């Protein structure tokens, strides 16, 4: 068995699989924590729901763009492949470097911190949240290095558990949570640059919660018909997630109100406590904690496909993409991911980690969306395109500008964390050129 074969699933993926991968990549633990993070930054129901609607529109724009990119370049690697073909291998290397040290690991760290919050709510322990997050990441890293990968059926169970938790939260919250929509002003203060800055700041956690649709493109090369199934799966999956997220936020606002939502870090538990008491809060906390573990375990094994593609192109150490002969797991890549995620999880609060991750992630979202202009101009993949972005170039330009705005908001909200993230990303350039020079000298 070759390394390439070992990275592939045993069966080819279809439309249902693509849709579930998209939804599974988006619906993590963020939706159970980010409603309160948004309420910290904007304070009226109109603005809270408005930024989630805006985030849903943004996610659909992204899904349209990635759907066309997937039909043009349906190989394994996703964004790495699009950036390499549109720009230069150096840009693709910087993306892969950032994925390993900032975006993938930052996302894992943020989800681990959410797990810690709900674990403490479930058990009542007073342990430090960063310690809990680090222990969980260390344990999952070790398990995955030994090749204990959850099978596709187990991962489907975790995905269904997340959906069940959301459905239970919405149904029980509406039926038994009490509360009702109250007449409140649209804005807490007259519209100004300060209000606009608050909206931009609130878009950071919203963008993080909606992020993840792009990970489905990592496995495009393993689908029966990626040009058809991935494009449709992207649109169906994102539309389903938008509906779920708006329902959750409506229930949180109805039951807790803007002030209550602002005051908590575990909104789902508080909603269930109001609906059916302390036992309900424990049930939802347990469901969220378990599904978070499944999400973390799965995410640890998604990005190594990118590292493998980099190593195959001669742009990274071969050992990073190499599989263990004993466990058939990409041990070095998983260990590097786990170590970086632990460092990030211990480096700041949940909101700070969001800004750290989003700063770099959305720079590459903007560059990937802009790559569509280059690929169209060069007519790369034009003979097999089965989906085109509606409203292009206007919708694509708006998506790029929205990404730039989110990056700017993240930098303003947390300059130090964003500066660290940007420094790590830019450090990839001298590493890339040293690596290329080193390889030429030893051929």
DSSP states of 419-437 as a string? HHHHHHHHTHHHHHHHHHH
Place of tokens 């309900």: 280
What pLDDT score was predicted for residue 218?
60
Handedness of CA 269, 271, 272, 274 (dihedral sign): positive
Alpha helices in 277-330 (DSSP H): 278-299, 304-312, 318-321
Report the pLDDT value the prediction gives residue 425, as an integer from 0 to 100: 94
Q: What is this structure's pTM?
A: 0.81
Collect all residues with Cβ–Cβ distance below 8 Å to 370 and sequence separation of at least 6: 396, 400
Torsion angle of the four alpha carbons 88, 220, 406, 249, in this order, in degrees rounded to the nearest 10: 180
Q: How far is 212 from 131, CA to CA, in rounded Å?
A: 26
- Which pLDDT score is estimated for 76? 62
Looking at residue 139, its pLDDT comes to 87
Q: What is the DSSP string of 316-341?
A: S-HHHHPPPTTT-S-HHHHHHHHHHH
C-beta separation of 51 from 258 below 8 A = no
Q: What is the mean pLDDT of each run of 10 residues along the chain (443 residues)?
A: 44 68 74 87 90 90 86 78 92 91 90 87 83 90 65 58 83 80 63 82 88 67 68 81 90 90 88 88 82 75 71 74 69 85 88 88 95 93 79 94 92 90 93 79 64
Distance in angstroms (rounded) separating the CA atoms of residues 410 and 354: 8
CA diameter of the chain: 72
Angle between helical axes of 304-312 and 79-86 (0-180°, round to 10): 30
In sign, the C-alpha dihedral spanning 389, 395, 397, 401 is negative
């Amino acid at each position: 068995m070759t390394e390439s074969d070992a990275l592939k699933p045993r069966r080819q993926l279809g439309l249902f699989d693509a849709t579930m991968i998209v939804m599974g990549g988006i619906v993590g633990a963020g939706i159970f924590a980010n409603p309160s993070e948004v309420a910290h930054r904007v304070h009226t129901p109109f603005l809270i729901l408005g930024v989630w609607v805006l985030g849903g529109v943004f996610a659909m724009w992204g899904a349209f763009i990635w759907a066309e990119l997937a039909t043009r370049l349906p190989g394994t690697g996703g964004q790495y492949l699009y950036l390499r073909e549109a720009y230069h291998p150096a840009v693709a290397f910087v993306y892969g470097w950032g994925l390993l040290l900032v975006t993938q690991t930052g996302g894992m760290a943020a989800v681990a911190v959410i797990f810690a919050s709900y674990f403490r709510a479930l058990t009542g322990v007073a342990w430090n949240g960063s310690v809990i997050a680090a222990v969980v990441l260390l344990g999952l890293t070790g398990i995955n290095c030994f090749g204990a990968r959850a099978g596709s059926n187990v991962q489907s169970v975790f995905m269904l558990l997340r959906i069940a938790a959301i459905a239970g939260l919405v149904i029980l919250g509406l039926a038994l949570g009490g509360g009702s929509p109250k007449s409140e002003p649209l804005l807490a203060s007259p519209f100004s640059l300060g209000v606009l800055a608050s909206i931009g700041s609130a878009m950071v956690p919203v963008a993080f919660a909606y992020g993840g649709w792009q990970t489905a493109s990592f496995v495009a090369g393993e689908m029966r018909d990626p040009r058809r199934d991935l494009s449709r799966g992207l649109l169906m999956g994102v539309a389903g997630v938008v509906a779920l997220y708006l329902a959750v936020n409506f229930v949180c606002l109805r039951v807790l109100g803007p002030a209550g939502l602002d005051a908590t870090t575990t909104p789902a538990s508080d909603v269930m406590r109001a609906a059916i008491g302390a036992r309900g809060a424990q049930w939802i906390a347990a469901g969220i904690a378990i599904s978070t573990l499944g999400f973390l375990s799965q995410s640890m094994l998604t990005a190594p496909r990118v590292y493998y593609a980099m190593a195959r192109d001669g742009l990274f150490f071969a050992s990073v993409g190499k599989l263990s002969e004993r466990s058939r797991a990409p041990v070095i890549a998983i260990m590097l991911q786990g170590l970086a995620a632990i460092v990030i999880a211990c480096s700041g609060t949940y909101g700070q980690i969001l800004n750290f991750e989003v700063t770099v992630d959305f720079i590459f979202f903007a560059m990937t969306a802009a790559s569509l202009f280059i690929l169209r101009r060069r007519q790369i993949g034009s003979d097999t395109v089965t989906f085109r972005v509606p409203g292009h170039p206007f919708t694509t330009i708006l998506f790029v500008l929205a990404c730039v705005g989110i990056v700017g908001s993240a930098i303003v909200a947390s300059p130090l964390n964003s500066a660290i993230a940007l420094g790590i990303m830019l450090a990839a350039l001298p590493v890339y050129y040293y690596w290329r020079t080193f390889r030429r000298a030893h051929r």
